[in-house]
Amino acid sequence: MGFKIMGVAFPQQFKTAEELAEYIRLGILEEIELTQFSNADSGSMATNEIYVLRSGHGTLVIMGDDLAIGGHYYETIKGINYLRFIIDENSASYVFDFYKDGALRSFCLAGGNLIDDEGEPLPIECIENDCAELIFKLIEDVTGATFFSIEETRTAIRYRVIRS
């Protein structure tokens, strides 16, 4: 079975659940528990849950299909830099929306077919041809943390999303 992870990364750390909720615009966040980062598996998450990891200088939010796929609500966040991403090796789907300093770069490859390719290509795209590796490098650029160097036992916060 292949790797599946989806979510959004921000270059800043949020001090409260309310502050994060304002940025991800999913609804109210209710803390469930502190848990290990290794439990943040997009393929087996409850549809209304997210995992939040503060790492490096940023915040990494891992979520399941229902919350991640509809991600156009991020576009309403004015002046905020972020990376929305989907890596699903099972379906060979790789998606990212990278918003920085007013410019949006969107890319979607699904089942080997290019679905979306908008905005100016990022300099790193000229260096990295593997879509998954490209997204992992963007996560590192945004959060300051290398994804695979995050210890599995690192503490993440598991939240329930209550739609408002």
**Residue-range definition of the domain harbouring residue 21:** 4-162
Q: What does the pLDDT read at residue 24?
A: 81
Q: How many domains does the chain have?
A: 1
The reported pTM is 0.89
At 67, the pLDDT band (50, 70, 90 cuts) reads confident
Give the phi and the psi of residue 108 in degrees, each rounded to 5.
-145, 120
